[in-house]
Amino acid sequence: MQWGHIKTLFILSFLILNIYLLIQYVDRQQDSERPALDESKETSLEEQLESENIKIQTEIESDVAESNYISVSQKKFTEEEKSMLNSINNITAAVIDDEFVVAQLNEPIPIPINASDSRVTELLAPYLAYADEYNFWGWNEDYRVLIFSQSKEGRTIYLNGSAIILAYLNQDNEVTHYTQMMLGESSKQGSDQTINPPIQAIGTLFERNNLIQDDAVTEVRLGFLSRIPTEGTHVFAPTWKVTVNESRNYFVNAIEGLVYAGTDKEFLNNTINDNITRIGSLPEESEIKEAALHALEQSIEVGNRSEIE
């Protein structure tokens, strides 16, 4: 009778051991198959885009594997730089708090409606300080402004009021005023970090329903974006700018995969209103204060009107 119990215990022990070994075997098989599953996931994204007739109509950067966060301080214009600014032909300028420039074109500069990006830059560059550090971003017709964004480390700073030139047009498409803020020297934060490939940024937008049927991805560019606006020192993350149908911009953090939900219109509205407040601090005897405020207030008015319509 005692031998029978011992036999039963041995059988149960071997059964438990076999179950344990089977579990270990299955786990190892799953580990070895994971790369294949990842490949099928990538293929699945391409198939899903194709099924929704979503096309990628631009070259995608494939040679960027690593990048850094960068830290940049706000530039302060020196007395020499202020004098240089005021010596530029055809403008009257004021510098507020050593960091904010407001300038009036004494003779407005007409901008042809069909002007190319390079032509717009060529027309305005002679009247701007450090024009070579800015890239023409675009012409926002709703707010009647031309947008120039500063670059750092060879890449554009996205949607940042501290690194931008806004040139304001009247109803005849003539630039009458511009405002400018600028960042100073940049420094890398930490070591190089692996960035997510651009196709992953596109996949993130698709999963969030930011890409819908018949959309076309028309541009994908790596730049820098600060998710939290700050004064003084700014920290920027490598960020993919994904343009859809040549009109909608999305910004996807290239390291963390977070999507910035702001829009160009929201950014412009906030930035121009902030600029109005800054110009309002000029002394009443300033020769450009009244005209500059009028130009910016007109920009806000037409921009708000376009949103209602």
One domain for residues 56 and 192: yes
Per-residue pLDDT at 92: 96
* Residue 128: band (very low, low, confident or very high) from pLDDT cuts 50, 70, 90: very high
Instruction: Provide the number of structural domains found in the chain.
Output: 2
Mean pLDDT is lowest, of 85-94, 146-155, 206-215, 262-271, for: 262-271
> 297 or 8: whose pLDDT is higher?
297
- Residue 301, pLDDT > 60, answer yes
Strands 134-140 and 145-152: antiparallel
Of the three residues 261, 281, 297, the one that is the final residue of a domain is 261
User: Is 174 contained in some domain?
Assistant: yes
One domain for residues 191 and 236: yes
E strands, 158-266, where?
A: 164-169, 174-180, 183-194, 216-225, 233-244, 248-253, 259-260
* Distance from C-alpha of 304 to C-alpha of 147, rounded to nearest angstrom: 18
One domain for residues 134 and 241: no
Could you report the per-residue pLDDT of 254-280, keeping only the tens digit for each? 999 999 877 788 999 999 999 999 999
One domain for residues 105 and 84: yes
One domain for residues 141 and 81: yes
One domain for residues 134 and 200: no
> What is the residue type of 254?
A
137: domain CATH number? 3.30.310.160
* Residue 96: band (very low, low, confident or very high) from pLDDT cuts 50, 70, 90: very high
User: Is 224 contained in some domain?
Assistant: yes
- Residue 285, pLDDT > 80, answer yes
One domain for residues 143 and 86: yes
* Distance from C-alpha of 185 to C-alpha of 195, rounded to nearest angstrom: 23
Mean pLDDT is lowest, of 24-28, 119-123, 250-254, for: 24-28
- Residue 72, pLDDT > 50, answer yes
226: domain CATH number? 2.40.128.690
CB 123 within 8 A of CB 111: yes
User: Is 40 contained in some domain?
Assistant: no
User: Is 108 contained in some domain?
Assistant: yes
Residues 6+ apart with CB under 8 A from 142: 265, 302, 303, 306, 307
What range does the domain containing 229 cover? 50-69+186-261
One domain for residues 126 and 172: yes
One domain for residues 88 and 171: yes
User: If you average pLDDT over every residue of the chain, what do you get?
Assistant: 87
- Residue 8, pLDDT > 90, answer no
At 207, which helix (H) or strand (E)? Answer: helix 198-207
* Residue 307: band (very low, low, confident or very high) from pLDDT cuts 50, 70, 90: low
CB 143 within 8 A of CB 268: yes
User: Is 121 contained in some domain?
Assistant: yes
* Distance from C-alpha of 202 to C-alpha of 210, rounded to nearest angstrom: 9
User: Is 36 contained in some domain?
Assistant: no
One domain for residues 54 and 175: no
CB 178 within 8 A of CB 168: yes
Q: Tokens 């024009």 map to which residue?
A: 131
Per-residue pLDDT at 39: 45
One domain for residues 209 and 240: yes
One domain for residues 57 and 195: yes
* Distance from C-alpha of 221 to C-alpha of 200, rounded to nearest angstrom: 13
User: Is 29 contained in some domain?
Assistant: no
